[in-house]
Amino acid sequence: MLSRRLLRTKVIKALFAHIKSGADNMIASEKTLMASVDKAYDLYFQILSLPVELARYAEQRQELAKQKKLPTYEDLNPNTKFVENRVIRIIANSDAVNDRLAARKLGWTQQPDLIRTLYTQLVECEYYKDYMQRPERTLDDDRRFLEDFFKELQSCEALDDVLEEMSVLWSDDLPYIVMMILRTLSALRPSHTDLKVPSKFKSEDDPEFVKTLFEKSLVNYDSYQNYIEKFTSNWDVERIVFMDNLIIGTAIAELTSFPSIPVKVTLDEWIEISKYYSTPGSSTFINGVLDKIVESLTAEGRIRKSGRGLI
């Protein structure tokens, strides 16, 4: 299930691309936005299948070693713990995973160099060596190994380069996807023989949230920017970066268009996003401006919240 933060990030990227390119077709840009959401879900399956490909590669190496003219004892009796990792086997046999990979033409068959590189790096990792030496073969051991593997992927430059080549729409998505995968693995139990794959969206309201946030932000872009100017008059306009204003404008759209989303959630989410997609001091600036804007919009009656847990 794609998080709301990832969905917000997709919206802000789509808005940035639309405005900066001078595009005039909102429908086309919205289609690109929704395609980027679909691609993020694809990435979940792509990354989830990576250890399966590595295990197959390891097994092929073991079979080739057995065929040597003078095989060693280790060649003939390889450590198969990684190859037979139960969680990897569950992923490999998952109909949901295999169906998505086939339908969307995903997988790693076109990336043999990456698989060799990742396997070489993997066998040198301490967590791999520790895993292979332990006598336990429990599901928890197998799962913890994979959790370490997926966490380490987030700092793998070789993988980043290949993902960027495979799809520009996967830029910056990996940390969110790894989190999804870790949640999937945490739900596995010893009695499970299949993988419970999450749906694309956590809520049936999420697709409408993405489209509405994009449309409201774009249609009202000029009016939001004019409104923002009232609260940034003491700031040097040249020092206010475009992304800061875009984030604040999109936050205004969310604050005024979604009665069920608490104000605090909106503020926290956009301030956090600004830490990754704007300048180092942007989060402090955006926080201060949004506090004033919320106070003003509330006084004007433009922020109206209703529902459970709203402040």
Residue in 10, 5, 4 with CA at minimum distance from that of residue 214? 10
Global pTM? Answer: 0.92
- Residues 36 and 104 grouped into a single domain: yes
> Residue 309: pLDDT above 60?
no
- Residues 42 and 90 grouped into a single domain: yes
pLDDT in tens, 143-166: 999 999 999 999 999 999 999 999
- Residues 182 and 63 grouped into a single domain: yes
Residue in 156, 169, 51 with CA at minimum distance from that of residue 108? 51
pLDDT of residue 253: 98
- Residues 153 and 34 grouped into a single domain: yes
pLDDT of residue 310: 53
- Residues 139 and 242 grouped into a single domain: no
Mean pLDDT of all residues in 113-126: 97
Q: Which of 130, 161, 186 is the last residue before a domain boundary? A: 186
pLDDT of residue 307: 65
- Residues 94 and 142 grouped into a single domain: yes
- Residues 144 and 233 grouped into a single domain: no
Residue in 288, 242, 245, 298 with CA at minimum distance from that of residue 267? 288
Name the strand (E) or helix (H) holding 74: helix 73-76
Residue 45 near residue 96, CB atoms below 8 Å: no
Lookup result for tokens 């402040």: 311
The answer to the question of residue 205 being in a domain is no
pLDDT of residue 75: 84
Instruction: Output the domain CATH number for residue 271.
Output: 1.10.940.10
Residue 85 near residue 55, CB atoms below 8 Å: yes
Share of residues in the chain with pLDDT > 90 (%): 85
Q: Which domain holds residue 290?
A: 220-299
The answer to the question of residue 202 being in a domain is no
pLDDT in tens, 235-288: 755 557 899 999 999 999 999 999 999 999 999 999 999 999 988 888 999 999
Per-residue b or e along 233-272, where b marks 16 or more CB atoms closer than 10 Å to that residue's CB: eeeeeeebeebbbbbbbbbbbbbbebeebebebbbebbbe
The answer to the question of residue 50 being in a domain is yes
- Residues 69 and 133 grouped into a single domain: yes
pLDDT in tens, 43-94: 999 999 999 999 999 999 999 999 988 989 898 999 999 999 999 999 999 9
Residue 287 near residue 281, CB atoms below 8 Å: no
Show the tokens assigned to 104: 């969307």
The answer to the question of residue 199 being in a domain is no
- What is the total count of domains within the chain? 2
